[in-house]
Chains A and B, each alone.
Chain A
Amino acid sequence: MPPPVDTKKVNTDLFALTYGSIISQLLIDCENVDEVNKQLDRMGYNIGLRMIEDYLAKSSSPKCRDLKDVAEKIQHAFQMYLNVTPGVDHWSQANDEFSLILYSNPLTEFVELPDSLQTMNYLNILPGVIRGALEMVSIPVRAWIKSDHLKGDHETEIRIQSVNKK
């Protein structure tokens, strides 16, 4: 795995709070929690579309051969952008599905979910980012949050499933 090349940094608190600010804005603007989830996913998708350019330019990584390779690259990207390294685990039998496991995460630094928001996926932006970024390199995937640390699960798990090209 090549070392991260991005040298410009910002403070994590600012980042986490900015994200929190977006969430609270969405909760005011949207009618229900489902819509918030959807909007977050859409935002993530938009970010992903741009982020992949940035990632490819900075890491100059070659084309991915298979999904294992993709998983490794995602891991690297997480390290580069969020300064955390997620675990890759729970491969499906056909090797077309895997999970990213986050033990800690800068986005949830100061967060506690109230009981009224148990259906909200606080981190729903991340699957969107992954989907958008991979779409730009013609690897269509579905991504969703399977378990969430904020809701009392042991860790946060993002499930990624490759969608067959037709």
Chain B
Amino acid sequence: MDVSEFMANRAKKSIVDQPIVKSQVTISLSAFSLLFCELVEYSQAKSSTIQELQTRLADAGRHIGYRIIDLIVNRDKNFRRETRVINMLMFIKTVFWRALFNKEADKLEQANDDSSIYYLIEQEPITNKFVSTPKDKGNFNCASFIAGIIEASLEQCCFPNKVSVHWHQGTTFMIKFDDSVVKREKRLTTK
């Protein structure tokens, strides 16, 4: 079968016919960084406040999160999803992070005083690699993009939550689960 015939066959197939299992393919960090930089610049032009800019970046991230979680669960987890909070978070810290960033997240911690809050700590997220934040931009952090990815992914697995970004030991993602998740977790523990 020559190449053009092969391509013609492939063109007729829809996207869902294509296999999802494939070896890890990578591309250059520069290409990603330049593209991401354009996204930030574009979002900046469209928003008037820092808050708005963060929200826009997070929304872009959410768009990714909704899609990528299915891909990773199917590809790396044998179609199994987690139902418990700790397992889910461990999954995010290890498998999920490795699939996205080729490394594990640095630390995962739980807040002492609140059982619904967890911290995921990453020293140097790739979105921040080439970014220097000017003083007047305050708390702005490009990692809100990643926060959006986490938030949407957890939501997609039935863990409604809110992720916010803070400058603390590098970048910290504060994950606050909804009350419904905490209640469910309690019920599952006592069973």
Q: How many residues of A contact B (CB 8 A)?
A: 40
Q: Is the CB of B32 within 8 A of A15?
A: yes
With a cutoff of 8 Å between Cβ atoms, the chain B residues found around residue A149 in the complex are 7, 11
Q: Name the CB-closest residue of A to B30.
A: A54
A43 within 8 A of B: yes
Q: With the chains together, A58 CA to B109 CA distance in Å?
A: 40
Q: Provided the pairs A103-B7, A152-B11, A154-B7 are in contact, do residues A6 and B64 lie with their beta carbons within 8 angstroms? A: no
Q: Is the CB of B34 within 8 A of A22?
A: no
Q: Which of A17, A22, A82 contacts B31 (CB 8 A)?
A: A82
- A-B contacts at CB below 8 angstroms, number: 121
Q: Name the CB-closest residue of A to B16.
A: A112
Q: Is the CB of B39 within 8 A of A15?
A: no
Q: Provided the pairs A18-B35, A18-B36, A155-B7 are in contact, do residues A6 and B29 lie with their beta carbons within 8 angstroms? A: yes
CB distance from B26 to the nearest CB of A (A): 4
Q: Is the CB of A110 within 8 A of B67?
A: yes
Q: Is the CB of B42 within 8 A of A17?
A: no
With a cutoff of 8 Å between Cβ atoms, the chain B residues found around residue A39 in the complex are 42
Q: With the chains together, A69 CA to B27 CA distance in Å?
A: 24
With a cutoff of 8 Å between Cβ atoms, the chain A residues found around residue B41 in the complex are 46
Q: Is the CB of B28 within 8 A of A80?
A: yes
Q: Is the CB of A9 within 8 A of B42?
A: no
Q: Is the CB of B28 within 8 A of A11?
A: no
With a cutoff of 8 Å between Cβ atoms, the chain B residues found around residue A47 in the complex are 34-35, 37-38
Q: Is the CB of A83 within 8 A of B25?
A: yes
B15 within 8 A of A: yes
Q: Is the CB of A29 within 8 A of B100?
A: no
* Chain A to chain B contacts (Cβ below 8 Å), 16 pairs: A6-B30, A9-B102, A10-B102, A10-B126, A14-B100, A18-B60, A19-B35, A21-B39, A21-B63, A24-B63, A25-B56, A46-B41, A80-B28, A103-B3, A154-B11, A155-B7
